[in-house]
Amino acid sequence: MVMSVSLAASVAIFCVILFGRHLLRRWRHHRRITTASMPRDSPNPGLAPSTIASLPTFAYQKAIDRSGNATSVQCAVCLGQAQEGEMVRLLPKCKHVFHVECINVWLYSHSTCPLCRSDVVDSPKVAKKVEDGEASAPPELPV
Ligand SMILES: [Zn+2]
Ligand SMILES: [Zn+2]
Instruction: Residue 59: give its domain's CATH number.
Output: 3.30.40.10
Does 55 share its domain with 27? no
Q: What is the pLDDT of residues 105-118, one digit of tens each?
A: 999 999 999 999 99
pLDDT of 20 reads 80
Residues spanned by the domain of 102: 49-134
pLDDT for residue 65: 79
> What is the whole-number distance in angstroms between the Cα of residue 141 and the centre of ligand 2?
45
Residue 83 and residue 126 in one domain: yes
Query: Do 64 and 122 belong together in one domain?
Result: yes
Residue 143 in any domain: the answer is: no
Ligand nearest to the CA of 118: 2
Q: Are strands 70-71 and 63-64 parallel, antiparallel or unpaired?
A: antiparallel
The Cα–Cα gap between 10 and 18 comes to: 12
Distance of CA 114 from the midpoint of ligand 2 (Å): 7
What's the pLDDT at 137?
61
pLDDT of residue 118: 94
* Nearby residues of 86 by Cβ (< 8 Å), 6 or more positions away: 59, 60, 99
Our count of domains for the chain comes to: 2
With a cut of 70, list the residues of the chain below it in pLDDT: 15, 31-44, 123-138
CB atoms within 10 A of CB 86: 16
Nearest to 84 by CA among 75, 97, 98, 72: 72
Ligand nearest to the CA of 88: 1
